[in-house]
Structure 1
């Protein structure tokens, strides 16, 4: 069965996990992480593809500095915004 996938979500996850290690004082509850991801994704161009279930593979060029800088920039903005009004462990 084919499914539609936004590969930008995977890229945001990869960069977000690395960036959160540098932000020791930011709330990392599930709700805050989802808020950060949603804010970042809303400001990034989606990268949709059709793939077979169980065979997900990122097919976009994640190695370009320009795309990585944009992704990291949007995640940092979202982290800073959410950190000003964290949920504090609320789910």
Structure 2
């Protein structure tokens, strides 16, 4: 889940919709942390387990669901930046 969220946050923050939001490393990490706190955890101990979870979570439906949580986190961090 962490890998997916990190990738999506980086892509979203460089998009045109979020030009006015801070893109500093601290805000990016805050967005990632807040997003991960709202998503279910998927602990794995092997590469095979990591791939299985990644494939299960990397569907269009799940990515849309994850994106909604990330977008919410972007707005929260934008409104209450950690400075």
TM-score where L is the length of structure 1: 0.73
**Aligned residue pair count:** 79
The CA distance in 2 between the partners of 1:84 and 1:36, in whole Å, is 12
- Deviation string for 1:5-43 (max 9, x for gaps)? xxx110101111111112111111121111111110011
Structure ranking higher in helix proportion: 2
Instruction: Give the alignment's Cα RMSD to 1 decimal.
Output: 2.2
User: Mind listing any 5+ residue stretches in structure 1 that lack a counterpart?
Assistant: 1-7
Counterpart for residue 42 of structure 2: 47
Q: 1:58 to 1:27 in 2, by over 3 A?
A: farther
Higher strand proportion (structure 1 or 2): 1
Max radius of gyration: which structure? 1
Normalised to the residue count of structure 2, the TM-score between the two structures is 0.79
- Residue 14 of structure 2 corresponds to 21
Point out where structure 2 has 5 or more consecutive residues left out of the alignment: none
CA displacement, residues 35-81 of structure 1 (integer Å, 9 cap, x when unaligned): 111110011011111136xxxx5432243222111110010000011
